[in-house]
Structure 1
Amino acid sequence: MAANGGGGGGGGEDGGDLLQAVEAFFSDTEDAVVMAFRVAKSQASWSVAGRRTRHSTKPRVLALTVMRSAATQKFKVKLHVLKQTPTGMQSAKIYKLKNLNKVEAVSSDNSGCTFVLGFDNLKNKPVAPPQWTLRTRDDRNHLLTGILKLCKENLGRVPKIVGMDVVEMALWAQANAKTLPSEGRVEKGSVDTGVEKGGKVSVESELVSKAEEEDMEALLGTYVLGIDEAEAFSERLKRELTALEAANVHAILESQPLVEEVLQQLDAAQGSVEDMDEWLGIFNVKLRHMREDIESIEARNNKLELQAQNNASLVEELNSLLEKLSIPPEFAAVLQSGTFEDARMPQNLEACDWLASSLRSLEAPYLDANYVNMRAVKEKRLELEKLKATFVRRASDFLRKYFSSVVDFMISDKTYFSQRGQLKRPDHADLRFKCRTYARMLQHLKNLDKSSLGPLRKAYCHSLNLLLRREAREFANELRASTKVSRSTGAWLESSQGGVAQGTGGADTSTVSDAYAKMLRIFIPLLVDESSFFASFMCFEVLPLNPHGADEDKDEDGDGGSAAETNGSDTKSTEQNPAELESLNLSLQELLDGIQEDFYAVVDWAYKIDPLRCISMQGVTERYLSAQKADAAGFVRRLLADLQSRISLQFNRFVDEANLQIEKHDRNVKQMGVLSYIPRFAALAGRMENLIQGNSRDVVDQAYMKLVNTMFAVLERIAQVDPKYQDVLLLENYAAFQNSMFDLANVVPTLARYYQQASEAYEQACTRYINSIINYQFERLFQFAQKVETLLYTISPEDVPIQIGYTKMDLRKTLKASLSGVEKALPAMYKRMQKHLTSEELLPSLWEKFKEDFMDKYESVEGLLAKCYPTEPLTPSSAEMKEIFKNFIF
């Protein structure tokens, strides 16, 4: 190690001994010791306001070490603060030199050996930085120039120097320059501060910043003489100082008497000061010892006080934790082996409350996170979990057996069900009262172990499903047995018009639809109530249900279904839980599955008696379906939807059978007059309109469309069998359809559309038929007129009589053949029409249409002859022909 690196040693050790001790301390590390100094560390401590700041001084050793970086080949410099103990050196603090940003002298120390090292990573510390005091200025300069040299070479910068004479430090560095390796591996003992031996370094550029250099140049520039070297400037300052001191001495000597008096006073004051200094030294030692004793006492008192507070807090925490970990024996007995009788339920519920709160108190955030993983807490949590599992298993076994026993008791008692001659409304009030006793326990089971509710829900659904199916089966059987009505025929075209047109041969079948409505009125509110009670009793997190259907569906006996009872755990959520709703619907499917078969049996029974009663049953079902808006009653809605589909299927079956009978209507047989299904459809439509309720309008309209389309298609097909009487058959049947549908078409839009279609078809058939009657007698006359009209497109009217076949002679022959004996021909035509028609009421209107069409054509012929054959008048004239019609007597 370089010489003087361990300057400033004390305590009987020279500099070399201190350096050896420090090197021995760092022998096990890769750090190389550059220098080491004994220093006094003082820390400012503030006292009462108005008094001086006092310092506590402690001996320390400052050691500067370096370690070359293998990557950058630069030194990593550290400043170690060491303290000596009886066992050797100990590291008190380590500073990295790269964080050093300021070196500031302490102004209160006139010797200049005390300074403060400012590190930028310690700016935010609330404690003031320590002050370091070296023995001599040489030690101070040695340490600081070494630090500045290392900062310059390894960091490329120097810290800011405040309150120190930089020129003095630079001159000292010139006089005491040493070498510091910059390349190669750093070996212990080969590192020191300073510059190369024998070399000369310009330290001004290293120790003086640019700003300070500019200030110095400005200061030197105030002198007239040019100063090139610091030695010359220093000599000049000394000479000026000597001159000033000589002038001062001369001035003092001139006032000798005063000086002597002052000297006497100074001697007296010096003696007093020396005495006071001696006393102050004694007092200072005593005060220092007293201060150390007070600090020691205060430290012990603080530790004891802190220990007492910690002990009190610890005892309080342990007592609180022990309260949470203790298990009351009465609760443990109830949870492990208690009974579930009605009288014991308050104790069971209280034990459940305690168990739930105890488990919750052992979990974060109710328990401090530091305690959660404690062994005692884990063991107690495991014990509580075992206690919970035991109670949940016992309670679940009891409830499964309890549900089964209550339902079995009700099934074994026949008075609960409908019997011969007596319909009995199902009453589950007693069952719900017994179940409600355990509603709160189910809520506790959900809080303790939500998975335990699954088997309990299945057990309840299985037991209650047996009861509901038995009640529905007995009620449906007795309902059908007690309903007296004549069976109608489904083949509505096979009987006579008087019987089948009414659909049931005159029998009143309203009791059939009434029986179905009563089935719904009794069981739909019951099923909704059961769904609501099940959702509440089994702790499903869904919105509450509307337990009733429409108000008008209450039974006339006045004992409507009861509302769903709550179990004390009201649902607070305002939004539906999709997962819980799906789980509830699956459970309700299991609870109510199979009961739909009895509803289907009633529908099939009603269809066999009177198929048209499907219309009223459809309306009743739609009314109930529209009343079920609660989501949790999903199964009830599906049941009503299935009933609606089944009723529609049965009614469509009836419509298909009727449609098939229309298609088979007297096929291959000549038909005359009005077909039988026309008036029977009118009677059927009238009855269907009387049975329509609610939204079943669409179902009936679909039936109308299917039947009427088939009727019109079959009518057209039958009419084509005999083309001679085709138009007569069409006009008679379309007229009959209009006459029978007139009233209904005014109120039913679907029938009004078909009424209009029949009216158009009737007009077309009438026109064709009238033309055939006219042509039968006057075809030759009207054909001659038609040919003349065609000829007029090419020639003038005057040239028509000279054409071959259109001469006046040809005209006379045609008129004679057509109009000869016209007075007798008209009655013959009337009788022909009378012979063709089977409906006498159509003859007057057809004859009037005949007269109108005939006279229109006759007047047209008369005008044509007057234009082309002015000398050949039409006989009889149109006026005479009108008189002939007017004098015609039927």
Structure 2
Amino acid sequence: MVLAVLEPRALQQLQQQVFVEVNALLRRELRAAAGELRRGASAELAASGQAGEGDYNLCKEKGGSSSSSSAAQPRQRVARLSYGSGGSGPGSDSVSEWPADPTELSSGAAGASAAKRQAFLDGSVPGLPLHEAWSLLLGGFLPFLAAEAAFYADLLLLYRGDEERLRDGPDSAAPDAKQQRQGQASIAVVISRPPGCPLTYAGSQAVEGMLAGLEGDFVALSDLASRSHQVLLLPLLATALAWQQHLAAQPAAAPLAALLESLAGKLRGAWGSFCAGQVAAVEQYDSRSKMGLQQGIKHLHVLPFISQFCLMVHDLEVALVEGAAAAAAVAAAAPSQQQQQQQQQQQTAGDDGEEGQQSLEQAAAADAARSVRAAADALYDELCPRLLSRLERLASSDAKYGERCRLENYGYLGEALRGLAQKLPALQQHWQVAEARREAALSGYVAEQLAYSKLWKLLEFGDKLDALLKVVSPPEVSFQKDCSPAEVRSLMRSTMDGTDKKLEALAGRVRKHLGGGALFNVAWAAVKEALLARYEHLEWLLEQCYPTTPLRPSPEELRELFRATSAG
């Protein structure tokens, strides 16, 4: 302050020299810490990459070709870095163990992330989850950088009006004249600034120079999420937005707020590129290039973009919950020394500054969470119709196996997203479409299996009787072509001979198509119900048209034969 009074030009030279030296020190400290965190995050990403995790290419075959006949069942979704293989074989519908609630999804992941974070800080493990590394970097350095900027701005009198306040000394209206004279004579003049006092233009330039060159270390860490584990872009974005709001009220931290705004823009751009790539991958997917031009979809089961989408959605929902928690933690962070002084001044003036600032930061954290939630919902709205449309086009290309393909994929999608769809409006409408199509595919598949079964001729005869009864009376039916009692008895004998073996063959065909999981049980129950319903109707028709020709075996006997099969 003596220098400011005696030689203002020398103070400017001191400011420049101090900020150059401080900038070099800050960059060195930040580079060392960011490098260590980047190495930890890279080690964790590399380990998860070796386990087949974090690649969200919707059309990538995971665990081999989609022609694989082995059942591939997604594992239980407990923590983020615990992926199931993108099931492509029959029976890959077994997703009943996946948690239904996003908070349940996040509980295991949050515990695992916190444990890894503490283990990394203790030095017992080399890896650290990327979003934890990001939170450590921002939470550890941004308050420190803001405090350093505020300290030197205060020390070197960079706030607007400091020269006038320094020249005028203490308030001339001070009640104690003795204290006033002592204050005027004192070298260590205490400057009292109003809340939110801005920096001078030169001060802003000086602080900006002091904090220059820091963005690269932050970008190097966030870029890791752009190459893999892209769902982590959203929690990184939420944390950056929350810190931007946290620092916005501090004049000396304006360069940091601008840095965070730039980082948020880069993260949004990376997310937009990821979403565009996913959409393009689905639209360009062609199963024939993978299966051969002549095989059609016979060997396709759960399509890669269906299984990958379900995995991505679950991991994305975990990431969103963690992002909201990280943003809330920023809002709850302790205020800086400058903010504390401002709050004390506001309280002295009768304003409730502390609660007001907390309310603003909590609102900002909620806005950050809503922002990333909206980004995820937009991806769902863009991807889901394309997924369903591409599935329909693929299934329509094969009349023989199309319904089976629809049933497996709509069944997988519906079961994997059932719990989440009940909680997330953005997913619910698309899930309802998939469920309706699953029901239609199930009906079509059941009809195909009945037509393929060796019992079909008798069931088809029942359809013929229904058609005849629309034009002739029941007694006249037996006089129609191929409808004599002898021909009916012959048809029953040839069709129902060895019924138990024929039912086993039918069950085996369904099992071959769908594996032995939950989807098989649903489909087999539907086949059994449809066959018995038509068989009972046939019995009624025979009673009307052929009173002396009972149906053998009876519906009750056929039901017992169903129970005796391996499928039950």
**TM-score normalised to structure 1 length:** 0.40
Q: 1:853 Cα shift?
A: 0.7
The aligned counterpart of 2:540 is 863
Return the letter of the residue paired with 2:401.
Y
Return the letter of the residue paired with 2:549.
E
CA contact (8 A) 1:486 1:609 kept: no
CA contact (8 A) 1:673 1:733 kept: yes
Q: Would the alpha carbon gap of residues 864 and 410 (structure 1) be closer, same or farther in structure 2, given more than 3 Å must change?
A: same
**Which runs of no fewer than 5 residues in structure 1 stay unpaired?**
1-340, 349-394, 425-472, 541-564, 574-580
CA distance in structure 2 between the partners assigned to 1:572 and 1:737 by the alignment:
53
CA distance in structure 1 between the partners assigned to 2:3 and 2:482 by the alignment:
124
Q: Would the alpha carbon gap of residues 640 and 410 (structure 1) be closer, same or farther in structure 2, given more than 3 Å must change?
A: closer
CA distance in structure 1 between the partners assigned to 2:375 and 2:4 by the alignment:
59
CA contact (8 A) 1:491 1:658 kept: no
Q: 1:863 Cα shift?
A: 1.4
Q: 1:862 Cα shift?
A: 1.6
CA distance in structure 2 between the partners assigned to 1:566 and 1:734 by the alignment:
72
Q: Would the alpha carbon gap of residues 526 and 760 (structure 1) be closer, same or farther in structure 2, given more than 3 Å must change?
A: same
Q: Would the alpha carbon gap of residues 588 and 857 (structure 1) be closer, same or farther in structure 2, given more than 3 Å must change?
A: farther
Q: Would the alpha carbon gap of residues 589 and 868 (structure 1) be closer, same or farther in structure 2, given more than 3 Å must change?
A: farther
Q: 1:770 Cα shift?
A: 1.6
Alignment of 1:733-748 (within 5 A): 733-742=409-418, 744-745=420-421, 747-748=423-424
Among 551, 556, 568, which residue is 1:874 paired with? 551
Q: Would the alpha carbon gap of residues 707 and 667 (structure 1) be closer, same or farther in structure 2, given more than 3 Å must change?
A: farther
Instruction: Kindly indicate whether residue 183 of structure 2 is the aligned counterpart of residue 570 of structure 1.
Output: no
The aligned counterpart of 1:417 is 26
The aligned counterpart of 1:517 is 135
**In percent, how many aligned pairs have the same letter?**
22
The aligned counterpart of 2:303 is 675
Among 406, 430, 436, which residue is 1:730 paired with? 406
Q: 1:794 Cα shift?
A: 4.2
CA contact (8 A) 1:727 1:766 kept: yes
Q: Would the alpha carbon gap of residues 674 and 586 (structure 1) be closer, same or farther in structure 2, given more than 3 Å must change?
A: farther
CA distance in structure 2 between the partners assigned to 1:707 and 1:780 by the alignment:
44
Secondary structure of 2:301's aligned partner: coil
The aligned counterpart of 1:293 is none
Among 757, 764, 780, which residue is 2:457 paired with? 780
Among 463, 466, 477, which residue is 1:789 paired with? 466
CA distance in structure 1 between the partners assigned to 2:396 and 2:39 by the alignment:
51
The aligned counterpart of 2:317 is 689
Secondary structure of 1:880's aligned partner: helix
Q: 1:805 Cα shift?
A: 5.4
Among 537, 550, 560, which residue is 2:159 paired with? 537
CA distance in structure 2 between the partners assigned to 1:842 and 1:874 by the alignment:
32
CA contact (8 A) 1:611 1:654 kept: yes
Alignment of 1:479-490 (within 5 A): 480=38, 485-488=43-46
Q: Would the alpha carbon gap of residues 781 and 501 (structure 1) be closer, same or farther in structure 2, given more than 3 Å must change?
A: farther
CA distance in structure 1 between the partners assigned to 2:148 and 2:20 by the alignment:
20
Q: 1:783 Cα shift?
A: 3.3
CA distance in structure 2 between the partners assigned to 1:875 and 1:585 by the alignment:
99
CA distance in structure 1 between the partners assigned to 2:468 and 2:499 by the alignment:
28
Return the letter of the residue paired with 1:485.
A
**Which runs of no fewer than 5 residues in structure 2 stay unpaired?**
65-73, 86-111, 117-126, 163-188, 292-296, 325-368
Secondary structure of 2:223's aligned partner: helix
CA distance in structure 2 between the partners assigned to 1:567 and 1:513 by the alignment:
41
CA contact (8 A) 1:417 1:475 kept: no
Return the letter of the residue paired with 1:517.
S
Return the letter of the residue paired with 2:43.
V
Secondary structure of 1:537's aligned partner: coil
CA contact (8 A) 1:738 1:759 kept: yes
The aligned counterpart of 2:15 is 406
Q: 1:647 Cα shift?
A: 1.2
Q: Would the alpha carbon gap of residues 735 and 478 (structure 1) be closer, same or farther in structure 2, given more than 3 Å must change?
A: closer
Instruction: Kindly indicate whether residue 239 of structure 2 is the aligned counterpart of residue 620 of structure 1.
Output: yes
The aligned counterpart of 2:223 is 604
Return the letter of the residue paired with 1:649.
G
Secondary structure of 1:612's aligned partner: helix
Larger proportion of strand = 1
Q: Would the alpha carbon gap of residues 503 and 805 (structure 1) be closer, same or farther in structure 2, given more than 3 Å must change?
A: closer
Return the letter of the residue paired with 1:715.
L
Among 654, 677, 686, which residue is 2:274 paired with? 654
Q: Would the alpha carbon gap of residues 626 and 800 (structure 1) be closer, same or farther in structure 2, given more than 3 Å must change?
A: farther
CA contact (8 A) 1:585 1:635 kept: no
Q: 1:855 Cα shift?
A: 0.8
**CA deviations over 1:310-339 (Å, ceiling 9, x no partner):** xxxxxxxxxxxxxxxxxxxxxxxxxxxxxx
Q: 1:404 Cα shift?
A: 3.9
Q: 1:526 Cα shift?
A: 4.2
The aligned counterpart of 1:171 is none
Greater Cα radius of gyration, structure 1 or 2: 1
Alignment of 1:234-633 (within 5 A): 342=2, 345=5, 398-399=8-9, 402-412=11-21, 416-419=25-28, 423=29, 480=38, 485-488=43-46, 491-492=55-56, 493=60, 496=63, 502=82, 510-521=128-139, 522-523=141-142, 526-527=145-146, 537-539=159-161, 567-568=191-192, 570=194, 592=208, 597-598=215-216, 599-608=218-227, 610-627=229-246, 630=249
CA contact (8 A) 1:487 1:608 kept: no
CA contact (8 A) 2:310 2:416 kept: yes
Instruction: Kindly indicate whether residue 528 of structure 2 is the aligned counterpart of residue 851 of structure 1.
Output: yes
Higher relative contact order (CA 8 A, sep 6+): 2
Larger proportion of helix = 2
The aligned counterpart of 2:496 is 819
CA distance in structure 2 between the partners assigned to 1:510 and 1:714 by the alignment:
38
CA distance in structure 2 between the partners assigned to 1:825 and 1:795 by the alignment:
33
The aligned counterpart of 1:767 is 443
CA distance in structure 1 between the partners assigned to 2:24 and 2:250 by the alignment:
34
Q: Would the alpha carbon gap of residues 411 and 672 (structure 1) be closer, same or farther in structure 2, given more than 3 Å must change?
A: same
CA distance in structure 2 between the partners assigned to 1:801 and 1:742 by the alignment:
52
Among 368, 373, 378, which residue is 1:702 paired with? 378
Q: 1:769 Cα shift?
A: 1.6
Q: 1:620 Cα shift?
A: 0.9
Return the letter of the residue paired with 1:643.
L
**CA deviations over 1:768-827 (Å, ceiling 9, x no partner):** 122112122343333333333334344443444444555545544544553344344222
Secondary structure of 1:485's aligned partner: helix
Q: 1:516 Cα shift?
A: 2.9
Count of residue correspondences: 416
Q: 1:518 Cα shift?
A: 3.9
CA distance in structure 1 between the partners assigned to 2:265 and 2:385 by the alignment:
24
Q: Would the alpha carbon gap of residues 744 and 865 (structure 1) be closer, same or farther in structure 2, given more than 3 Å must change?
A: same
Q: CA RMSD in A?
A: 4.7
